[in-house]
Every structure is written in structure tokens, then in C-alpha cells.
Structure 1
């Protein structure tokens, strides 16, 4: 690229970075709204550095570890800026960086494939400031990090299509491995990528008079391509399973523990929105199709351009379809089995995948002539603008997008009220611990992460990642625990370790626990007493 183009890439990246940061900090600091999952990922990094027993394994073994690992360097500044933890701003900084990186990567891809500077700028701005993409680049969730690695995979795959470069295959491999350490949807996308490589290698098979030679050469190329692209992610899966087994005692702990997605989704059969799709393939298909609509609109521009060039039924287009529908297929299976909440964000990945494919498609359109390119470019802008409008409409619909609707109407949201309550609980607990430096409070961080982040005396908390947590939970009196904080056992809070260990603890306590204080309707603090001395 020219010097001016490189400068434009950096300017756009900085613009996206500061836009995301300003919006994210405005939501978190001034409006006190941060998604619970985003704060939980910050908390996992926080336990590594600032819990009572700091250690790397405190990062947890349910959610993929990369987002929290990347937050650890940011949280080193927490003693000077406590809001990095308490308000989830460490996560906001991280996703803003990845949103900026994604914009720069896409911008560079357009420019390298001959798209004019102004047109490339307009396209990337339409993507980066799409309401959904912009929101998830500013809220600390893992989606934008995952999108970055998906875009890396697609752009490297397209470069490999053109150049057959081994470097592109290496980039695919490492991007796929890092994607797995970010989100589990990588498994289905990786299968789509493996199938795509097989199709492309088969299409490129040698045309030789000796069939045996052609088949052998094709197999060797396929084997080499698949090994380079897939070995890193295979090793990533094996390493994750090994760490789960060696530390938690179960290689599939992330899949079937009490805190796993499967455990949390056990109550979905009572969910009025999800219950009708469980075990019903037709309803599951309709559910997935409806929520995928805003993210599939740009695909229509590629289809029209392919029809113009009479190139629709081609292997590379089949590869695009495999990429685009791989993750929605995973959601379809999970919804059918009743193991997915069906949030709108689970269906968003076709949008960045299609957009990452557009530079390649526009380049092919340009090769057919100026008129083809002008029509294709105009259609692309129209469809991207339409996608932005429809996405914004979906996000403001409480049925289709409950999480995003809650963020838009944050003042009336349960998350806003929960964050304020957590802050009040944390302040009150800090006062108790300050008046008695020898006191300790046991709580399961699965539900209490926001309270933990809001507290200043975390060295007096016994939390789930502590090495002696189970012993303290099983024998609070013998371990000299002062208090136990427990949530109302409703929904996923029923999986809380205290509620699991002691039946009906929230309502009745235990022979060794006396109700000390109730916070709203959601939390109770019990004082631990020796039954023999009561």
C-alpha cells in the first residue's frame, strides 16, 4: 500500500478506537450499565491478581480464557484506577482495541485488492458503526474479539485462494486457535474451514494423464493444507481439555460442570420463548432464520454480483456459504436440544464473515469491467446501509433482542438495578470487614462477581477460585468463616455453590448460620455461629 493509504488505515483505526472507548466508558461510568457477562470476564482476570489467593488458574475453566488473559495487563493499573475492575472498563478497553483492529484489517484488505480509498472508507465505516458491531465493540463482551479472529481467518483464506501461500495457511491456523480460546463456536467454523480447504484443493487437482498420480498429489496437498490450518486449533482444544483435567479433575469440566452452559440452560424448558423450539425442528429453523435476517442482508449483494458475472455455482461461493452458515447451524442444534438461550448475538457472525469476503468479491467484479464494478459497489453500499437499519430495529425489539433492548433502555433494565444493588451490598460488606479486620465472608463468585469487584477488602473474601473454598464451604465453623453471602435461588442462582451444598439455605439458613441482613430481594448475609454454643 502507498504511504497515504497506510496513514488512512491508522486514522480510521484511531477513530473507531476512541469512538468505542468514549461510548463504552459513558455507558459504564456515567450510566452504570455493563452487561453481566462482560463484568464476569473482567472478574476472572481480577481473581488472578487481586483475590485472597492470587494464581493463574483463578481465571476459571468454563469460559474460554483468552479475553480474561488479555485483560490482566490492563488490570495491573487497578490500584490507581479501580473503575477498571468495578465498572468493567478493562473489558471495554480490550473490545475497543479489537474493534479498531478489525476495522484496520478490513480497510487494509479493501485497499490491497484495489478498492478506491474513499469507497473503502465508506464501506468500513458502515461496518464499524453498524449499531450491533459498534455496541459489541464497546461493551467488554467476547463477541468483538471473536469477530476479529474470524475476519483474520477469512482474509487469510482469500489470500491463500489467490497466492497459494503457506504464510496465509499459517495465519489461518493461529487465528483459528486464538478464536477457540475466545469462543466455542470456533469448532463449527473450523469444520466449515476444513471442508472449504478440501473443496478448493480438489478443484485445483492436477490434470494428468495418469489418474493415480493426480489422486496422490491431491491427497498430499490436502493433507498438508489441513495439517497447517487445523493443527493449532486441535492442539488448543487438547491443551484446554488437559488443563481442565489436571486442575479441575475433569477434561470436559468446561462442558459439564455446575457452572457450564449446559447446566445453566437446564431451566430453558420453562422459558416461554425457548420452550416451543426445544425438540421441534420447524420452530428451531424459524427461530434461527428470524434472528439471522439482519446479519445476512449483505450476502444478497454478493449473490447479485455473482449472478451478474454468471459465477454463482462456483466452489469459492460454496466456501462462503459454509463459513456463513456454520455457526447458525450450531445454534440450530443447540436450540433443538434446549442448550442455548438464543440471544441475538449468537446469530451475528454471518455479518463480519460476509463483509470480510467483500474485498475479494469486489475485486472479481472490477475485473469484469467498470460497469460491473459500479453496479456491484452501489448495491454493496445499499445492502450494508439496509443491514444497519434493520439491525438497529431488531436491537430495539425486546422479543428478538432482549439483551440489546435492555442496553438501549438501560434505566429500566434489571442489569442497571442489579448493578446498583451490588454496589450497595459491597459498601456495606466493606464497612463490616473494616470494623473487624479478622472477619471473613464466603461467597460463590459465580453470582457475586460484581459485588467482589466493587469491594475494597477482597483479601478477606473466600471465593470460588480460592484453593480452600470447598473446605470452607463444607465446614464454615471449623474454618472460622464469619459470614456467608448467598443469592436467592432463582434461575442460574440455583447453581450457586452455597445453594447446591445446603438445601434451602437462602430461606432457612442452617444450624450454623443465623440471618444477619437482607439486601433487597436477591441477597442475604448469614452470620456463622457454632451450633454447640447457641
Structure 2
């Protein structure tokens, strides 16, 4: 379990509140539920607390090391230990353009509205949990410590989303709340082991079927699952704007391959990732993960950059540190760069004609 939590942190930050809720659950079990008798020469409370300390040490240590390593890697590679929180490509930076929506603005510093929003999302995945609570009620096991532990595990991850909604650092997509579903499903075997009447097994089965039907409906509703619905439509070739943007990326990549197969082109990976994937000559692109990328932005000619490809600034889905460095380049150009191609007023290719002098404009 401890190593699973450590690995989970490398996938999603939600592993932190989930690990915290598990730690509290173990303390409750050890201190209030466990009936292990203390040795004759040791008090019962002190003995239980020492057992809780041992369990917490095993559970928490690997995930703490994961967090320390993550911060250390950010410091070594990006020279900022909190780059994942406040960097150019952090979650906060990515969603700033979307937060102008009235839905999200209304939830900033409004805990009640944020909780209501999260509750609606959670209910989509809650049928298995409801069946577990029904089983507990039928078996007279509802008012027990394990019910509190289950609810703690269940709400720990959504509570992180609520906090982020209040602070304006998340969009609260439906999939961010899906983790409550595997939590409930993982609890089911334990709960079913306590069932005395076999026919009660039909209750969780009905809950799983109901959740399938609910999700099948919700995924078709853009108002409830906007991002997921877009993915679904694209999967079945009901193309929307995202598809046409992808086509434009293909056209841009084809143009660069045909006309500049041997030229070094500076481009931000975040906004141009599809161009990088579709080009036949990706190695000639100077991208965000190159070691001297930031230096190349400051003085392109010094680092062998012949062309700069930039997206139109201002879009909520566009992040480009090149645009941040040269905010007027797309619209007005620069003395050291010459416009050579305009791709539908959404992307522009500039040729570097002289050194910038190392000064970001």
C-alpha cells in the first residue's frame, strides 16, 4: 500500500489527500477499533499509539520520499523547487485563460458554490457507495468506525478539487472526480464479506449497472462533461473545432517539411505538440525540453535558430514562453525578425535576420 501511494503521487497529486485520509483511517482502526491487548508492562493507550506510529511510518515514508524527489528534480532541472506549482507550464498557468468563464469566477472564494458544483460531479460516480451504505444499513453496520473511514476515503480527493475551485486553480472536469468510483468498488469485497443474506449481493450489482447507465448518459451531455464529451465526439468522427485545429497543425508541419527541412526552428512544445508529432524532421525543431531553450529565446541567432514559429497569443488553450518573451512579435513583428508565412492568422513563422543583442523585448 505504501509503495502504491508513492507511485500514485507520480501520476496525480490527488494521492496526497488520499494518503492523508488513509493515515487517519489507520489511526482510528488502531486506537479505537483494534482489540489487541497491551503487554503487562505497558499502558493500553501507549501501546496502541506505538502501533499506530509504526503503521504510519510504513505507510507515509515512501510517498514523502516521492514528494521530496519531485521537488528536488524541479529544483535541479528547472532551478525552481515549486516549478510544478508556479512555472510557465504549471496547472495554474494552463487554466488561467479558462477562468474567465462565469461558472468558475462564481466559485472563487465561494466555498458553498464550490461544494455544490463538486457534489453534482461526485453523484455521477456514487451509485456503488450508496449500495454499500444500503448494505450497512440492512446489516445494522451503518454506525461504525469503518463507515467514517470509507466516507473519509471517498471525499478526500473531491475535497482537493473543492479547495482548488475556491482558489481558482482547477476547471473541475468530470474525470477529476472519477476516483471516488474505484474507492467504492475496492471497498465492496470487504463489505460483502460481512453480508449474512446472500440475496443482498444483488444490491451492489444493481448499483454498478445503474452507474454504467448514468455515466453513459452524462458523457453525452456537454453541460456536465464538456471535455469528455469533446473527446467522445472526436472518437466517433463527429469533428469539432479541435479536429480542424489538428488539420491545421498537419498543414503547418507539411509546409515546414517541404520548405525548411534543414533549418532550426524555435517552437514551444506546449502549443505546438501536434506539429512536432506530425513533422518528418522533428530533430531540427528547437523545443521546450532542449537544454538551452530559454537562452535560445533570448538570443536566437547565437544558438543557431533560423526561424521562430509562434501561435496567436490570447487563446485560453495557448501557452508559449516565446510569446511571453516577445509579446508584440506576433502582431507587430520585430526589427530582428521577418514574417515569412501566416497560417490562417493563428500561427506565424518569422525568419531571424539578425541578433537580438540578448535583450528580450
TM over 0.5: yes
Which of 4, 8, 22 pairs up with 1:193?
A: 22
| 227, 232, 238: which one aligns with 1:408 | 232
How many residues align? The count is: 352
1:245 and 2:75 matched: yes
Alignment of 1:318-337 (within 5 A): 318-337=148-167
Q: Please say if residues 278 and 335 of structure 1, whose CA atoms lie closer than 8 Å, have aligned partners that are also in contact.
A: yes
Query: Following the alignment from structure 1 to structure 2, what is the Cα–Cα distance between the partners of residues 268 and 493?
Result: 8
Q: Aligned residue for 1:374?
A: 199
**What is the 5 A alignment of 1:310-349?**
310-349=140-179
By how many angstroms is 1:204 displaced?
1.1
* Structure 1 equivalent of residue 130 of structure 2: 300
Choose which of 46, 51, 58 in structure 2 pairs with 1:228: 58
Paired residue secondary structure (2:27): helix
Once residues 303 and 211 of structure 1 are traced to their aligned partners in structure 2, the CA distance between those partners, rounded to angstroms, is 41
Is the aligned partner of 1:478 residue 2:284?
A: no
Name the structure with the higher helix share.
Answer: 1
1:449 aligns with 2:276: no
User: Whole-Å Cα distance in 1 between the matches of residues 56 and 241 of structure 2?
Assistant: 47
Q: Which has the higher contact order (CA 8 A, sep 6+)?
A: 1
Provide closer, same or farther for how the CA distance between residues 356 and 495 of structure 1 changes in structure 2, counting only shifts above 3 A.
same
Deviations 1:48-96 (A, max 9, x none): xxxxxxxxxxxxxxxxxxxxxxxxxxxxxxxxxxxxxxxxxxxxxxxxx
Quick one: distance in 2 between partners of 1:209 and 1:223?
A: 17
- Provide the rounded CA distance (Å) in 2 between the counterparts of 1:245 and 1:274: 32
In structure 2, the partner of 1:158 is none
Matched, 1:178 2:178: no
SS of equivalent residue, structure 2 residue 43: helix
* Equivalent position to 2:111, from 281, 290, 309: 281
Matches within 5 A, 1:109-188: 172-188=1-17
- Give the alignment of 1:22-41 within 5 angstroms: none
More displaced stretch, 233-242 vs 509-518: 509-518
Q: How many Å separate the matches in 2 of 1:219 and 1:427?
A: 66
CA distance in 2, matches of 1:480, 1:248: 23
Question: In structure 2, how many angstroms separate the alpha carbons of the residues matched to 1:494 and 1:298?
Answer: 39
Q: Residues 358, 348 of structure 1: CA spacing in aligned structure 2 closer, same or farther, 3 A cutoff?
A: same
Shift in alpha-carbon separation, 1:497–1:208, aligned structure 2, 3 A: closer
CA deviation string 1:328-354 (max 9, x = no partner): 000011001111111000111111110
Helix, strand or coil at the partner of 1:279 = coil
The alignment partner of 2:193 has SS state of helix
- 2:117 and 2:350 map into 1 onto residues whose CA distance is 43
User: In structure 2, the residue corresponding to 1:412 is in which secondary structure?
Assistant: coil
Secondary structure (helix, strand or coil) at the match of 1:526 reads strand
Structure 1, residues 182-206: CA drift from partner, whole Å, max 9, x if none? 1111111111111111111112154
Aligned to 1:351: 181
Instruction: Note the C-alpha offset of 1:280.
Output: 1.3
Q: Is the 8 A contact 2:85 2:91 kept in 1?
A: yes
In structure 2, relative to structure 1, the CA distance for the partners of 1:493 and 1:385 (3 Å cut) is closer
Please state how far the C-alpha of 1:241 moved relative to its aligned partner: 0.7
- Partners of 1:362 and 1:373 within 8 A in 2: no
Matched, 1:516 2:346: no
Instruction: Please report how far the alpha carbon of residue 490 of structure 1 lies from its aligned counterpart in structure 2 after TM superposition.
Output: 2.2
Contact in 1 for aligned 2:302/2:355 (Cα 8 Å) = no
Conserved in 1, the CA contact under 8 Å of 2:94 and 2:317? no
Q: TM-score, normalised by structure 2?
A: 0.93
CA distance in 1, matches of 2:185, 2:26: 20
Verify the 8 A CA contact 1:427 1:455 in the aligned structure 2.
Answer: yes
- Kept in 2: contact 1:206–1:217 (CA 8 A): no
TM-score by length of 1: 0.63
Q: Does the 8 A contact of 1:433 with 1:460 survive in 2?
A: no
Structure 2: which 5+ residue stretches go unaligned? Answer: 357-361
| SS of equivalent residue, structure 1 residue 313 | coil
Q: Offset of 1:430 from its aligned partner?
A: 1.2
Displacement of 1:268: 4.3
Q: 1:264 aligns with which of 85, 89, 94?
A: 94
CA distance in 2 between partners of 1:211 and 1:186 (Å) = 39
Correspondence for 2:282: 458
SS of the equivalent of 1:466 reads: coil
Q: Kindly tell me: are residues 260 and 211 of structure 1, through their superposed partners in 2, closer, same or farther at Cα, counting changes over 3 Å?
A: farther
What is the distance in 1 between the residues matched to 2:191 and 2:54? 27
Alpha-carbon offset, residue 478 of structure 1: 2.9
